[in-house]
Amino acid sequence: MADFLLEIGTEEIPSGMVRGLAEDLLDRVTGGLKAAGLAPSGKALIAAPRRIGFVLDGLPTRQEDRRETVVGPALSIARDAAGAWTKAAEGFARKQNVDLTACIEVQGPKGMCIGFERDVKGRTLAHILAEAVPAAVDAIYLPKAMKWGAGEYLFVRPVRWVVALLDGEVVPLAVKGVTAGRASRGRRIFGSEHVEIPAVKDYFPLLEREFVVADPEKRSRGIRAELAEQAAALGGRVPSDPELVEKLVYLCEGPRVLTGGIDPEFLSLPSEILVACLREHQSFFVVLGGQGCALPYFLAVMDAPADPKGLVRRGLENVSRSRLSDARFFYEHDKAVPLERRLEELKGIVYHPKLGTYFDKAVRLEAHARELAPYFGAAPAKAARAAKLCKCDLASLLVQEKEFTGLQGVAGGLYAEAQGEDPDVAEAIKVHYDPKPGAGPVAMTVSLADKLDTLVEFFRIGQAPTGSKDPFALRRAASGAVAILSDRFQAVRPGARREDLADLIGRWAGQGSEPLIQFLGERARHKWEGEGFAYDEVNAVLATGLHDLADSHARLQALHGVRNEAAEDFDHLSVAFKRVRNILKGLPEHGLYPSKFLPEGHQEGDAERALYQAYSAVAEEASRALDAGDYESALRRLSTLRPSVDRFFDDVLVMCDPEGKDPGKTALQNNRLALLQRVVGLFNRVADLSEIVPREI
């Protein structure tokens, strides 16, 4: 057994790519090794700005020797009528460099063939690595590639050194023209530019001595711990910001957290702007005190072991001061311009060449919001006002600055507040891009109007996403709409209008509504599966149509819950309902009328009677529960039908008169079909169980 270390040393890789490249490399090399029958017992990732690679533990040092069978042409070609080897057989043996006398009859994929057996020596791990590593590096997916120097090689950044060791031995291989050795490099500026690695096990500790923490998880833990510690020392906390931490983890090889001061004169800025300014410009964390107010401190991550003279801190504070004074200038200037006056400026900002300007969008949104408001129990006038103004901040100085584009909505909300708009209106503007649960009805209305408008309009001009192409982020818009419709529609006041989503979209989108409704269904599926619902449960609910996502979600929860209580019942019901579906599929849609139902007592045989009775016993109660939206109780009651359904299918021939020749039997057949349809109809008010994939049987 041996341990293998690979470190590819590069110039600084973009922070967003380091981890993906390192993982891709690891996967490809271990994949190659496994294909050669060499699996490691453990692995550790190396992923830092100037190095990607890994350590693999417990690798077999060579492949097993093995015996293999070489298969040649079929016997029909290889032997003549007399049973002697033919010219073809001779040719095969010559080509394979074996004596014809060594050839035997072997089993080929399509019958007996000429062939022979031979011993194959296992190759050494070092040999296999020398091929597998360069091949893996060449196969890595590079989001953006470059050339350097003579321009012979293509990689994410120039490769400057390679360390490849099997225990203590250098593996002879080369990556992008760089021959592997045992010399790594330490942290730029602070560590040595020549670090000899005697053996694999020395790698991580030796690099740490040179100020490089090669394990990204360890850097991440370090940053998080220092952030928490220093924030606590200041009497505050830093809100979780995994995205920023991740960026800094891959921007530093030996990160340390440093506390800096924010000039108190800037604390009067709204904290959203303060935080965004320092985050986007400088990757700083702002320390928040009680009630979420900013304290006059930021935490920064530097890629240096210390700040001995306080120069780093002073530099960062200087930069932050000039950034914040810019932000304050924009904010004060914008605050003085009434949002409504910005509407005119929206006429100059193109939304999409085929969809006009943001002014056009604002006009549409105003109408949509007025129409949607009653669904949420929102005041139509407030919803319309917020919708009309919600895009106005796009014309503000602040949002037009590249670093503050992320404050779209938030900025408008702050200006609306400062300008004395109704608080509901200001809130709606502020959160309409991404309302959190608990947002008010006006906010939900405006957000949904915005997202549905985006979807309807882009679908109308044929810009629905295809494959990985989604330039207008329509999936995100649809997911946002689904989230509102599925989770947050429950904020609807009792008595507020609830209408079919499909109808509404049909009205807005006209003829193109069908693909859009399907698209929303797909996003609903994505969301629900992400929440842990099984795909077949989601299918079962979506199969009943997409009308009211909140209701669909409630039904899904009921199905999921009751199915887990009685998995076997659902498996059986699903099998039975697939049969029902197949039977009913062949019948005219409206071929069954309740009038064809025979009165009680006309059922033939015990099984049929039993199902009828069982159905009659639960139908009323289940219907009541369904009407009340208590899907769990309804399903629980309905699932007691399972033994009767099973028995029915065991004993009863439903299609007893498929040709319709015997009027008496026809009536009986119709009666059975109608009974099944009623049973299925009740279940279908929750989900189409024929979509359930049995787990046990």
Contact footprint for another protein (CB under 8 A): 11-12, 14-16, 49, 144, 146-151, 157-158, 160, 188-190, 193, 251-252, 282, 300, 302-304, 307-309, 311-312, 314-316, 318-322, 326, 350, 353
- The minimum distance between CB 152 and another protein, in angstroms, equals 9
**Nearer Cβ to another protein (39/142):** 142
Closest CA to 223 of 283, 311, 294, 280: 283
- The minimum distance between CB 298 and another protein, in angstroms, equals 11
What's the gap between Cα 544 and its chain centre?
A: 25
- The minimum distance between CB 261 and another protein, in angstroms, equals 14
- β-partners of residue 258 are 300
Asked if 175 and 25 count as a contact pair (C-beta separation under 8 A), the reply is: no
Strands 178-179 and 174-175 come out as: antiparallel
- The minimum distance between CB 147 and another protein, in angstroms, equals 5
**Nearer Cβ to another protein (38/140):** 140
Residue 492's SS3 state is coil
Determine the longest span between alpha carbons in the chain, in angstroms: 105
Residue 546's SS3 state is coil
* H or E segment to which residue 537 belongs: helix 535-542
Q: How far apart are CA 237 and CA 244, in angstroms?
A: 16
What's the gap between Cα 48 and its chain centre?
A: 25
**Nearer Cβ to another protein (14/37):** 14
In the structure encoding, which two tokens stand for residue 145, read together?
């590639």
Asked if 481 and 517 count as a contact pair (C-beta separation under 8 A), the reply is: no
**Nearer Cβ to another protein (58/143):** 143
Q: How far apart are CA 693 and CA 570, in angstroms?
A: 9
- The minimum distance between CB 279 and another protein, in angstroms, equals 13
- The minimum distance between CB 441 and another protein, in angstroms, equals 37
Closest CA to 537 of 561, 516, 515: 561
- Give every CB contact of residue 521 below 8 A, 6+ residues apart in sequence: 542, 546
Closest CA to 141 of 256, 228, 20, 263: 20
**Nearer Cβ to another protein (314/695):** 314
Distance of CA 383 to CAs 295, 364, 447, 480, Å? 35, 13, 10, 18
Name the CA dihedral angle for 309, 313, 315, 318, rounded to a multiple of 10 degrees.
Answer: -130
**Nearer Cβ to another protein (399/641):** 399
- The minimum distance between CB 515 and another protein, in angstroms, equals 30
- The minimum distance between CB 181 and another protein, in angstroms, equals 15
Asked if 29 and 198 count as a contact pair (C-beta separation under 8 A), the reply is: no
Asked if 397 and 333 count as a contact pair (C-beta separation under 8 A), the reply is: yes
